[in-house]
Structure 1
Amino acid sequence: MRLVLAVPGDLAAPTGGYAYARQLLAHLPAQGVAATHLALPGTFPDPGPDDLARTADALAQVPADTALLVDGLAYGALPPAVIRAASRPVTALVHHPLGYETGLPPERAAALAASERAALALAQRVIASSCFTARLLAAEFGVPRDRITVAEPGTPPAARVEPRPGPHVRLLAVGTVTPRKGYPVLVRALADLTDLDWSLTVAGSLDRAPACAATLRDLIAATGLADRVTLAGAVTPEALEQLYAEADLAVSASLFEGYGMALTEALARGLPLVATTGGAAAETVPPGAGRAVPPGDAAALATSLRDLIADAGRRATAAAASWEAGQRLPDWPATAAAVADALRTR
């Protein structure tokens, strides 16, 4: 089977969605699917007329005997005419709906939701990266449940990070600095914990939303945490592995997740977690592996962080549960197998 995976922007970008696409391209051949990458304009989900014309032309040139899988960052913003111009069944890959991105003006969020609803109505199949997203697409976007396949991201096996007694506790937050990731909530929570011995490293691009990153830097300075919080920016896989190995506690203040790959990466290493219940994160992090708090609630986040920072025994108990859960996570070959099965379903 031949497949073209159409993805907008830079395929090497260090985000979960792009990592998912890269892993599909690497692992689908073992499932009997010869997959190639088609680069779409990087302006999605806000393409101009010229970008839409280029996209329509690129999709129409995909050979007739080749399946077409379009990443949701572009698919939900495609007008029906562009999808129909492909002249073939199209499968959409959805990590989370475009209109659910935090910080959008209400009218823009509504327009994206309407666009995505119309686009998904034309998809032969929809691949969702979590059960939560699948339910959301069925309930809010009208996608028939029997047209949705769930293919959770894979999590490669990793070396266990053994719990350390402290007293210094190193916190790690992984994810691009955007409004949806809730980093200001995390900083406000940590500002209430200056009596404890901790430091935080944020590993994630600072270039995706420069205004958000600038605001975060200002907040860190205003709360007096500049000597405790490091914004590392985008890091290499090797550097990220080292950060995981040095961490004592993983934390996520995300307001919404379509899955939460950084959370499962922490579980795979046996790191205790403090994470919000925003979106699919409530289901990604199992009970006992740490603490779950409502998204946007700095006080609740501070309380949960205090519980684990101040108590090495609680961290060790949570770490054991995290490691156990991490050993049950799917790997990338399983993800690719689920996608391949979906592509063969008519």
Structure 2
Amino acid sequence: MNTVHVVVPAGIDDPARPSGGNIYDRRMCRELAAGGWTVVEHAVPGAWPVPDDSCAAALAAVLGGLPRGATVLLDGLLAPCVRDPTALAARLALVLLVHMVPRPRNDGGTAGSARSGTSGATRGLPNEVLAAAAAVVATSPWARSRRVAAFDVHERRVHVVEPGVDGAPPAPGTASGGRLLCVAVVTPTKGLDILLEALSGVAGLDWDCTCAGALDMEPAFAADMLRKVRNGVLAGRVHFPGPRNGAALDALYATADVLLLASREESYGMAMAEALVRGIPVIAPRVGGVPGTLGRTASGTVPGIVVAPEDPEALAGAVRAWLGDGALRRRLRAAALERRTELLARSWEAAAGRLAGVLSGAAPARAARERPGDG
């Protein structure tokens, strides 16, 4: 029987901290086990997603306790804390699961971390860890292309395993299209400041927006967003209920007309897939994996509106067009429903099957790289 040791940050099941990366980790563990794998999970304690000095020691203790030759799936959030990756790769068949490709740190600390939107030491993906891994798993084709281009990783070692999608009934929508929804942690990376500025530009129109996501990842930033809503033209129009999971999140999608995203970075965008599988169009910036996840119908129609990144006026213009044009709403809803049919075929079980293939090849890949002439 195949065995994989999955090393993740502690807290991936915390309902107060939902994230695409956490959901991906949990579902893959579950589906691999259902597919016959022995999954041994190791939760590394520490101040994730912004590690303190104790995190490297905690991770070293976990990795040091694994049996020689073990196949290990390591969440990329932990990668900056890996000590001596070359020695680690000599002992273990390491598969690095990276949910996000960080952009260069030239924003003075604004952009935040890849996984959660918090700034700090998790930004970098050390080249040494990437080079040591027998295989690297990317969660979107865009992330794969960026990883091959930006880091010294041979393209043969980078594999795409996109998230799965759970089925859900189509959302009925409203005649006016004014039920706006954003599902994102309240951080700069997710662009909540951009979103609020855009919504301020359409404050004279008839709409209501719910922003569902954790408020405690960057408390100062979240407090500033709440203050802007409370004291400005968005008072009573924008709601921050905090994180939502399960039935509570399903209920938000069921009453939504359109999903709004304003992310500065996005590797895949699981909220988009969750919206589209319910036939809900998406308005989002052209960043990272957004265009790929949004996709097109067979006729070439995009099931939403893609705007320039970090451009509140462009985002406001898209919302204005959505609210003011009933024919546009009908066309985009039809496209989203067509896209829904395609996405329903992307099960988590199938995704785990692709990941299992990568894991099965990790030990042979590690052995091949140790032979002279192999890369």
- Asked if TM exceeds 0.5, the reply is yes
Q: Which residue, 220, 223, 227 being the options, matches 1:218?
A: 227
- Distance in 1 between residues matched to 2:120 and 2:55, nearest whole Å: 22
Change (3 A) 1:86 1:4: farther
Residues 74 and 96 in structure 2, CA contact (< 8 A), matched pair in contact too: yes
Alpha-carbon distance in structure 2 between the residues aligned to 1:65 and 1:243: 46
Alpha-carbon distance in structure 2 between the residues aligned to 1:55 and 1:86? 17
Of the three residues 107, 111, 116, the one matched with 2:126 is 116
Aligned to 1:204: 213
Measured in 1, the distance between the counterparts of 2:162 and 2:49 equals 23
**Corresponding residue for 1:236?**
245
CA contact (8 A) 1:132 1:258 kept: yes
Higher helix fraction (1 or 2): 1
Distance 1:121 1:231 in 2: 41
Q: Structure 1 153/136 Cα, relative in aligned 2: closer, same or farther at 3 Å?
A: same
Give aligned-pair identity as a percent: 34
Q: Return closer, same or farther for 1:289/1:105 CA change in 2, 3 Å cut-off.
A: closer
Written as runs of structure 1 = structure 2, the 5 A alignment for 1:143-182 is 143-166=153-176, 169-182=178-191
- Give the alignment of 1:39-50 within 5 angstroms: 39-44=43-48, 46-50=50-54
Partner of 2:116: none
Q: Secondary structure at the match of 2:342?
A: coil
Higher alpha-carbon deviation: 185-194 or 311-320: 311-320
Q: Which moved more, 1:180-189 or 1:7-16?
A: 7-16
Which 5+ residue runs of structure 2 have no aligned equivalent? 114-118, 297-301, 366-375
**Bigger CA drift: 262-271 or 78-87?**
78-87
SS at match of 1:120: helix
- SS state of the match for residue 259, structure 1? coil
CA distance 1:337–1:76, change in 2 (3 Å): farther
The farther-off stretch of 81-90 and 131-140 is 81-90
Q: Tell me how far 1:33 sits from its aligned partner.
A: 1.7
Instruction: Give the secondary structure class of the aligned counterpart of 1:326.
Output: helix
Which deviations, in whole Å up to 9, do the C-alpha atoms of 1:164-200 show, x marking residues without a partner?
212x611000011111000111111111112211000
Between the two proteins, the alignment pairs up a number of residues equal to 344
Any conservation in 2 of the 1:289–1:321 contact (CA below 8 Å)? yes
The more displaced of 78-87 and 27-36 is 78-87
Alpha-carbon distance in structure 2 between the residues aligned to 1:246 and 1:177: 21
Please, what TM-score do these two structures have when normalized by structure 1? 0.92
Q: Please say if 1:306 is aligned against 2:344.
A: no
Offset from partner CA, 1:116-157 (integer Å, 9 cap, x none)? 222101111001101111111100011111001100001111
Distance of 2:306 and 2:272 partners within structure 1 = 12
- TM-fit CA distance, 1:103: 6.2
Q: Which residue of 2 aligns with 1:104?
A: 109
Q: Distance in 2 between matches of 1:45 and 1:237?
A: 23
Partner AA of 2:324 in structure 1: A
1:1-346 aligned within 5 A? 1-12=2-13, 13-44=17-48, 46-64=50-68, 66-81=70-85, 84=88, 87-98=91-102, 104=109, 116-166=126-176, 169-287=178-296, 288-329=302-343, 330-345=346-361, 346=365
Q: TM-score, normalised by structure 2?
A: 0.86
For 2:372, the equivalent position in structure 1 comes to none
